[in-house]
Amino acid sequence: MSGRISPRFAVTTALLMGTLAAGGLTARRISQPLALPLEQIDSNILGWSVVGEQTLPPETLKALDATSYLVRTYRKGDLPLELFVAFYAQQRAGESMHSPQHCLPGAGWEIWQQGSALVTVNGKEIEINQDRIENLGSRKLMFYWYQSGNRVIASEYLGKLFLARDTLVSGQTAGSIVRIILPDSPGANQEGLAFAAKLIPAVWRSFGRGI
């Protein structure tokens, strides 16, 4: 199953964004703080343990423009896993969170394989992005998705469509982008998907869901 959206759908979405903007509907937004800080996301997940947390440099924070964020390194044996979460208390329709497809190439990473995968959360299958990236001969496996208080989606364009609808219906536009990266080694795919399946409910708890 592919997590990519057709050009026709992208054009339709863009037209919808323009219509909403023209109607002045994008101004109706409600800031939604997190119920729990991102730092309270589990430090031990399926045998993965936190070995460090990082602070982003000022120029990166300015470009990210997030309400809050979390950058962590987990380790399981000799295998590291990088976690990145950026949370936005409110978003503006027509804008989008910083997709790895846009920011990683600027950091020297090439996305050489794009795809998607399914994870099972609370008995329901959820689609997330699964890409392979490379930089100077180092290959890694990346999973990422867009998560709000009531949904998880893989598509950036579908996220814009939901954002426009949420702006119109409720004004509640809080959301996050979640990304995990680990070495593209044997067994990494299963490890990454299992971690993602546990991480999604942990992020939801930060939103206040299930508390």
CA distance to 30, 97, 157, per residue, from 63 (Å): 22, 11, 20
Strand partners, 129: 116, 144
Report the Cα–Cα distance between both ends of the chain, in Å, rounded.
32
The three-state secondary structure class of 54 is coil
Task: Report which residue type is found at 8.
Answer: R
Checking phi first, is residue 24 left (phi over 0); if not, alpha (psi -120 to 50) or beta? left
Cα–Cα distance between 9 and 158 in angstroms, integer?
Answer: 9
Per-residue pLDDT of the chain (211 residues; tens, 9 = 90+): 445 566 656 655 555 555 455 445 555 668 889 999 999 999 999 999 999 999 999 998 988 899 999 999 999 999 999 999 999 998 876 566 767 877 787 677 888 899 999 999 999 999 999 999 999 989 999 999 999 998 999 998 888 888 888 888 888 899 999 999 999 999 999 999 999 999 999 999 999 987 5
What are the two backbone dihedrals, phi and then psi, of residue 193, each rounded to the nearest 5 degrees?
Answer: -70, -40
Please state the pTM of the whole predicted model. 0.85
Domains in the chain: boundaries: 7-207
Q: Which single residue is written with the structure tokens 């703080």?
A: 33
